[in-house]
């Protein structure tokens, strides 16, 4: 059996929406995978994936359906990993790859954020709705070796601790106190609540930010589209009869790239 066909049913049995990733890569092997932040794949989807993509890697979308959010340390600087481990609640699950580590926590509505150094290098990320994490024993695209973790996530997924409510501020201040210079620009942040009268302008602005992140290689297009969906659903005022369209907002991102 392949990695996905062997591992995915274990997650599905617990009601966790594991998805197939391309063989030897980190990117999902299905379209519109962001919907699984909010729902389980149905029986038909599961059977098709097992039959057609069973030899792929395996990923888990972050969000309400999985109940998981992750902190991803994407740096070899030992100070960053030490800050995460000293300041945040101890996570029972830690995954390692080529560098850094990923820590799993209980999802409580957190939004994705990224913290970069002064030269634009990625330091750490909070991976939430619109993102996914690669699960062991998937094969790392750079090393050709299997990802490893200190334990099986499904064994501890019901006992993950929650992140502090102001986790981004906590981490930013700790990094600065450690003498790490942070980027003052390029933070693709689209998490301010937008009232009805300002939605269209904000949509265009945020679409432009995400498109720029795609061109800089900070997001894949699918990640950007997923984040735009999360912005519409979570940060815009809902008005009966005048709802802002997720599809329209996602199309704006694509328009900026054309």
pLDDT in tens, 66-105: 999 999 999 989 999 999 999 999 999 999 877 889 999 9
Query: ∠180-149-135 over CA atoms, to 5°?
Result: 95
Q: Which residues pair with 148 in a beta bridge?
A: 96
Instruction: Calculate ∠ Cα 86-153-30, nearest 5°.
Output: 115
Cβ-Cβ contacts under 8 Å for 46 (sequence gap 6 or more): 8, 9, 12
What does DSSP say about strands 122-127 and 148-149: parallel, antiparallel, or unpaired? unpaired
pLDDT digits (tens, 9 = 90+) for 155-194: 999 999 999 999 999 999 999 999 999 986 444 455 455 5
Question: Among the residues of the chain, which ranges form H helices?
Answer: 3-13, 43-53, 78-87, 153-156, 167-177, 199-215, 221-235, 246-257
User: Which of 94-103, 126-135, 223-232 has maximum average pLDDT?
Assistant: 126-135
Pick the CATH number of 3-177 from 1.10.4100, 3.30.2250, 1.10.760, 1.10.357: 3.30.2250
Report the C-alpha gap between 42 and 3 in whole angstroms. 20
pTM above 0.75, yes or no: no
Please give the Cα distance from 228 to 13 (Å, whole number): 30
Dihedral-angle region of residue 70 (phi above 0 means left; psi in -120 to 50 means alpha; beta otherwise): beta
pLDDT at 52 (0 to 100): 97
Domain locations along the chain: 3-177, 196-257
């Amino acid at each position: 059996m392949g990695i996905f066909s062997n591992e995915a049913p274990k997650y599905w049995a617990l009601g966790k929406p594991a998805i197939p990733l391309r063989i030897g890569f980190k990117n999902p092997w299905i379209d519109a995978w962001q919907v699984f932040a909010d729902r389980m794949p149905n029986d038909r989807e599961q059977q098709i994936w097992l039959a057609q993509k069973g030899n792929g890697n395996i990923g888990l979308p972050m969000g309400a359906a999985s109940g998981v959010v992750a902190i991803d340390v994407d740096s070899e600087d030992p100070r960053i990993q030490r800050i995460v481990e000293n300041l945040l609640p101890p996570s029972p699950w830690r995954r390692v790859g080529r560098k850094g580590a990923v820590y799993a926590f209980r999802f409580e509505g957190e939004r994705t954020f990224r913290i970069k150094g002064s030269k634009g290098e990625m330091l750490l990320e909070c991976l939430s709705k619109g993102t996914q994490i690669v699960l062991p024993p998937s094969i790392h695209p750079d090393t050709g070796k299997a990802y490893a973790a200190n334990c099986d996530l499904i064994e501890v997924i019901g006992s993950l601790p929650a992140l502090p409510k102001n986790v981004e501020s906590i981490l930013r201040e700790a990094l600065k106190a450690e003498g790490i210079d942070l980027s003052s620009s390029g933070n693709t942040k689209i998490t301010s609540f937008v009232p009805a009268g300002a939605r269209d302008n904000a949509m265009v602005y945020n679409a432009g930010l995400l498109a720029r992140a795609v061109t800089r290689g900070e997001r894949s297009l699918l990640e950007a589209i997923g984040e735009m969906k999360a912005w519409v659903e979570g940060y815009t005022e809902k008005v009966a009869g005048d709802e802002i369209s997720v599809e329209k907002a996602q199309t704006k991102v694509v328009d900026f790239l054309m």
